[in-house]
Amino acid sequence: MRGLAITGFEAGYFYPGWTHPPPANVRTDFRLQLDDRTLASGPMKLARGKCSGRFGCTVYLDFIGRRTAVPGSYGHMGAGKHIVIVDRVIKAKLFD
């Protein structure tokens, strides 16, 4: 999978297929889940090292992962219709 991830405190948004940050008024129904092992490995570790923990960052991700097949209430406070789980990051490019 490829797309744009916006991470931060109580936030993990995913824009499938996007390569650049979305305009402020564009929302997504996809929430992103990265576990500690994935965050601490390879490309994501390098990109995340430049992010501020509380405010997060915007990262282009190319990864192996999966998404929910059935729409529901996922992510923080059930705000997403789908959740995308990142199993392994292949490439991560941080946007300033």
What is the per-residue pLDDT for 52?
57
What is the per-residue pLDDT for 28?
92
pTM (2 d.p.): 0.82
CA atoms within 13 A on the CB side of 82: 13
40-70: pLDDT as tens digits? 676 666 665 566 555 678 889 999 999 999 9
d(CA 60, CA 62): 7
Contact partners, residue 39, CB within 8 Å, separation at least 6: 45, 48
Give the start-to-end residue ranges of the domains of the chain: 2-95
d(CA 24, CA 38): 28
d(CA 80, CA 22): 17
